[in-house]
Structure 1
Amino acid sequence: MAQENLLQKSLRFNTIVNLIDGGFFGFALGLASFSTVIPLFIANFTDSAAWIGLVPAIHAVGWQFPQLLTARWVSRMKRFKPFVLFMTVQERLPFLGLALLAWWSPAIDNRLTLTIAFSLLIWQGVGGGLTANAWQNFIGKIIPYNLRATFFGAQSAAANLLGGIGAILAGFLLERLDFPTNFMVCFLLASGMMVVSWVFLSLSREPDHPIDSQPDNQKVFWQKVLVIIRKDRPFRWFIISRILFQFATMAAAFYTVYAVKVLGMGEVAAGVMTSILFIVQVVSNMAFGWLADRKGRLPVLMIGALCSVIAAGAAWLAPDYNWFYAIMIFAGMASSVFWTIGIAVSLEFGTEQERPTYVGLANTLIAPSAILAPLLGGWLADWVSYRLTFLVSALFGLLTWLILFLFVRIPQKAPLPAALAYSADPPLETRNQ
């Protein structure tokens, strides 16, 4: 009962500090964006679209792949926060490394620069992945599930609002400062924002929670994993739709590079375009989070799939770079749905004790597609054209929508008071979203 009272009393405080944490984290990612700034930095040392496309892929797969591997460990934690605070340093510190690398890059061979850069990106991605399962369960514990989509939407909105400001600032820095000072300053400022973010995260209040007194051994754990995959059909179709969604959004990794290198967009305009992406996500994250909590997750997932089709289809047809301002609007909406609503949905399956396993499966099983999708997109761009990449991405978007419409069903839990959100397993309604 003490745990429930503390969760109830701390709900507002925890919400505020975690929104601020997300905001400054987003500010950092605006200054050192995986879709614009870092690919442009890498493009100074290679012309390969496949290598450039690996930048967001490494970030995504690094975040996703380790989550099942940490699930058993996470399920045995009485508190998630200490682990989250320690491990998240590993996803923040590499930005300082990128700043140092940018500064020294003129004196280093291109191949060595790329090797160090991708090593830092792998470190950052894996650090995020080792943090991710515990962090999602931490949020699932301190935020009631009937408010989770709204919270994730609001946190993402805060991240994208400050991220939009960071992206505009990055655009001006890249345009007005000489290379490599421009990239060094962007990465250094991103490092500072990461520190501020960590401080607010550390202020969160989390009580202990009960755990299974006889935890599964390694063999039993993996047996349960196989049972979930075989028997939980709704969850299996959700995973399939997430895998296809990766290919539906693979074109987004190439929008900025295509607009700048092929269609002649300036770097300041590229920064403005990125800020549009962030600003759209501010609105769409809040709107989709609110809508998902009130009208159901599945309709919002279907909207996201259609947005990916529109973005990639428009990029395929675009005669000049001005189209990409509108394209970024739909790309931002698709991204909001995939990440924000996807995280909320992954917390809907299974019991509280099973949640780390479901969260791990929901991310680890889509990790291969996170790396294969941009590799496919980069290969198509290198060997044929960027436009073919955009067309294939749009077709995958259509297939994703079809799978969502025909097969995906998401369990809907009945609302409970906030204080009871973590301490009990609520009954499931008979209807599905």
Structure 2
Amino acid sequence: MSHYPLGAGLEPPPGFHAVKRNFRLLAMDAIFYFCGLAFMDASTVLPAFLATLTSSPLVIGTLIAIRPAGIFIPQLWTAHYLSGRKQHKSFLIKVAAVSRVAITFFALILFVSGPKNAGLMLTGFILFYTAFWFSEGGAGVPWTDLVAKTIPERLRGRLFGLMQVVGGLLAMMAAWLVKWTLGPHGPAYPTNYAFLMAVSALFYWLSLISLACVLEPEGPIENHNGGFWEYLGKLGKAFRQHSQLKLLIAIQLLVGMNGLSLPFYILYAEKVARIGGGMVGAFLFVQTAGSILSALITGQISDHRGPKSAIMIAVILAVLTPVSALMMRNAPGWTFGIVFLLLGGLVGCAWIGMTNFLLEISSPEERRGFIGLMNTANVPSLLYPVLGGLVVQFLSHEAVFALTALTGLIALLLCIILPPTRSPI
């Protein structure tokens, strides 16, 4: 915690111990969360699981689209609901508990299902995945605002980097477990996937326990004095007057179009390189390594040079990821690891850079509304996996990768003209 240097005989500044405690607890929360996420990864594990239930790319893409729908749709309602409160951790804990219950029950469903109970497993997946991500969507605004209330500006990049580095190292260990579980020596299907969901649930519960121990200070109450639609009108006016926010949302939408290709990188590798189930875990390992490397770099860059630099790295990776996939058609199966290395780096950079940028351009009174607005603006991305499935079904995998690369290039042009939040230190 070098943000608070202490000389001999000096007392720590007010709030130091609370910041130190909350820094550690929020880091533990996210570390456990990222590790749990590795066991139900949307680019490797879940597409491979769904491919055992359906052969339709469109169906797989549609089901994976539940995730962005659940994340983004509840955001503005949550921001409005919390706008009259000084504290909201109790709301956050209750909402987040729903996702933990959902994945626990899905693991139980898979444990009791036989390999021929495809209908039961598919129904269970739809119910679990919907409840899980709508719960996480409801938790997004209060969690991000909690970080802003408890962690000083120039420590946030370090916090986000630590979350991803340590969580990523645990997730890399998880990748080897995924590889063994889905390989020829692992449990039989569908017990192998049931085991992965159970371990994922364990880490999610540990995440929730850590979050519950965070000390939350009181925050300002937004003075909107109106209903939901009036609240939206005021947010819309603020959006139109804020050039940085408009550019940030546009960049986020374009970078998010990697969702067109997200479920199909692993399926493309299975198609052209005939990789086995064990390689899914290996690619997850490499993807996590990419996330760790990017977090090590961009966490420090965001704190010292500002979050725009981290966003620029993410945008470059948004171009390189689909371009690398286009180059793999006649390559050996192991070379697809490059795609997943870049994909992991993209996810890490985008989250650190864009979250920090948003928090730095919004006042405490605007913050919850801006968080909700920015996340809700991503609602179109829920169609990306569906559109990607249509492109694959009627054209080809190569076509969807080329389209994804094009959107990344447009994002790069916008990022160049995005004004920075502050001068480097």
Whether the TM-score (by the shorter chain) exceeds 0.5 is: yes
Q: How does 1:214-233 map to 2 (within 5 A)?
A: 215-218=224-227, 219-233=229-243
- Whether the 8 Å contact between 2:169 and 2:292 is mirrored in structure 1 is yes
1:363 corresponds to 2:375 = yes
2:425 paired with 1:393:
no
**What is residue 8 of structure 2 aligned with on the other side?**
none
Give per-residue Cα distances to partners, 1:314-369, cap 9 Å, x unaligned: 10121232221112121111111222222222212331011001001110011222
Range 125-134 or range 35-44, more displaced: 35-44
1:384, CA displacement in angstroms?
A: 1.8
Question: Which residue pairs with 1:74 in the alignment?
Answer: 82
Q: Distance in 2 between matches of 1:413 and 1:223?
A: 33
Cα distance, 1:220 vs. partner? 3.9
Give the CA deviation at 1:51.
2.2
Q: Are residue 133 (structure 1) and residue 141 (structure 2) matched?
A: yes
Q: Matches of 1:144 and 1:263 in 2, distance apart? A: 48
Instruction: Give the equivalent residue in structure 2 for 1:430.
Output: none
Cα deviation 1:235-282 (Å, max 9, x = unaligned): 112111111111145323221222124421122222011111112211
Find the aligned partners of 1:227 and 1:151 in 2 and give their Cα distance.
32
CA distance in 2 between counterparts of 1:389 and 1:100 reads 36
Between 98-107 and 283-292, report the one with greater CA deviation. 98-107
Output the amino acid matched with 2:408: G
Aligned position for 1:23: 31
Q: Calculate percent identity across the aligned residue pairs.
A: 25
Residue in structure 2 matching 1:382, options 373, 383, 393? 393
Paired with 1:211 and 1:166, the residues of 2 have a C-alpha distance of 42
CA displacement at 1:292 relative to structure 2: 1.4
Q: How much does 1:299 deviate?
A: 2.6
Asked whether the equivalents of residues 247 and 373 of structure 1 are also in contact (C-alpha less than 8 Å), the reply is: yes
Q: Which sections of structure 2, spanning at least 5 residues, go unmatched?
A: 1-11
Match of 1:403 among 372, 395, 414: 414
Retained in 2: the 8 A contact 1:24–1:194? yes
Per the alignment, residue 46 of structure 1 pairs with: 54
Question: What TM-score do you get using the length of structure 2 for normalisation?
Answer: 0.90
Deviates more, 1:87-96 or 1:254-263: 254-263
Q: Secondary structure at the residue paired with 2:363?
A: coil
Partner of 2:287: 277
CA distance in 1, matches of 2:384, 2:286: 24
Q: Which residue of 2 aligns with 1:37?
A: 45
Identify the residue that residue 219 of structure 2 maps to in structure 1: 209
**Structure 1 position 61, deviation (Å):** 2.8
* Aligned residue in 2 for 1:425: none
Match of 1:245 in 2: 255
**Residue 192 of structure 2 corresponds to which residue in structure 1?**
182
CA contact (8 A) 2:57 2:393 kept: yes
**SS in structure 1 at match of 2:65:** helix
Residues 1:350 and 2:362 aligned together: yes
Secondary structure of the corresponding residue to residue 348 of structure 1: helix
CA distance in 1, matches of 2:134, 2:314: 27
Match of 2:318 in 1: 308
Which residue in 2 is equivalent to 1:291? 301
Output one character per residue of 1:135-158: Cα deviation in whole Å (capped at 9) or x when no partner: 100011111122212211221222
Q: Judge which range, 340-349 or 126-135, deviates more.
A: 340-349
Distance in 1 of aligned mates of 2:199 and 2:258: 32
Kindly indicate whether the alpha-carbon contact (under 8 Å) linking 1:6 and 1:207 is maintained by their aligned counterparts in 2.
Answer: no
Q: Structure 1, unaligned stretches of length 5 or more?
A: 416-433
* Structure 2 CA distance for partners of 1:116 and 1:405, relative to 1, 3 Å: same
The equivalent of 2:178 in structure 1 is 170
Q: Deviations over 1:112-141 (max 9, x none)?
A: 532331121111110000011001000111
Question: If the length of structure 1 is used for normalisation, what is the TM-score?
Answer: 0.89
Residue type at the aligned position of 2:346: A
Shift of 1:109: 5.2
Contact 1:316–1:391 (Cα < 8 Å) also in 2: yes
Q: How does 1:261-276 map to 2 (within 5 A)?
A: 261-276=271-286
Residue of structure 1 in register with 2:267 after alignment: 257
Deviation at 1:49, TM superposition (A): 1.3
Between stretches 9-18 and 99-108, larger displacement belongs to 99-108
Larger mean CA deviation between 97-106 and 290-299 belongs to: 97-106
Aligned-residue CA RMSD (Å): 2.2
Distance 2:62 2:355 in 1: 23
Question: Shift of the alpha carbon at 1:188?
Answer: 1.0
Equivalent residues in 2 for 1:82-97, closer than 5 Å: 82-97=90-105
Q: State the alpha-carbon separation in 1 of the partners of residues 324 and 201 from structure 2.
A: 35
Of 327, 330, 341, the match for 1:317:
327
Equivalent residues of 2:92, 2:143 under 8 A apart: yes
- AA matched with 1:57: A
Distance 2:132 2:423 in 1: 35
2-structure distance, mates of 1:196, 1:307: 32
The offset of 1:91, in angstroms, is 2.1
| Alignment-mate amino acid for residue 375 of structure 1 | V
